[in-house]
Amino acid sequence: MFYEHKPMPAIQNIKVAVDAVVFGYEAKKISVLLIKRGVAPFKDSWALPGGLVMDDESLEDAVKRELKEETGVKFDYLEQLYSFGKLGRDPRNRVVSITYFGLVRPNHFTIKADTDANDVQWFSLDKLPELAFDHHTILSMAKDRLKAKLQYQPIGFDLLNKEFPFSDLENLYTTILEHKIDRRNFRKKILSFEIVEETDKIHQQGSGRPAKLFKFNKKKYDQLVQEGFHFEIKIV
Q: Where in the chain is the domain with CATH 1.10.10.10?
A: 153-226
Per residue in 9-33, is it b (16+ CB within 10 Å) or e — as a string?
A: eeeeeeebbbbbbbbbbeeeebbbb
CATH fold of the domain at 14-151 = Nucleoside Triphosphate Pyrophosphohydrolase (3.90.79)
pLDDT at 2 over 70: no
What is the amino acid identity at position 30? I
Residues 14-56: pLDDT tens digits? 999 999 999 999 988 999 999 999 999 999 999 999 999 999 9
Supply angle C-alpha 57, 58, 64, rounded to 5.
90
Does domain 153-226 correspond to CATH entry 1.10.10.10?
yes
94 touches 13 (CB < 8 A): yes
Helix, strand, or coil here: 185?
Answer: helix
Residues 128-159: pLDDT tens digits? 999 999 999 999 999 999 999 998 888 888 88
Q: In what order do the strands lie in the sheet with 164-165?
A: 164-165, 211-216, 196-203
Residue 128 and residue 136: Cα distance in Å, rounded? 9
pLDDT at 236 over 60: no
Q: State percent of the chain over pLDDT 90.
A: 67
Q: Where in the chain is the domain with CATH 3.90.79.10?
A: 14-151
Neighbouring residues of 217: CB distance < 8 A, sequence distance ≥ 6: 194, 195, 196, 197
pLDDT at 207 over 70: no
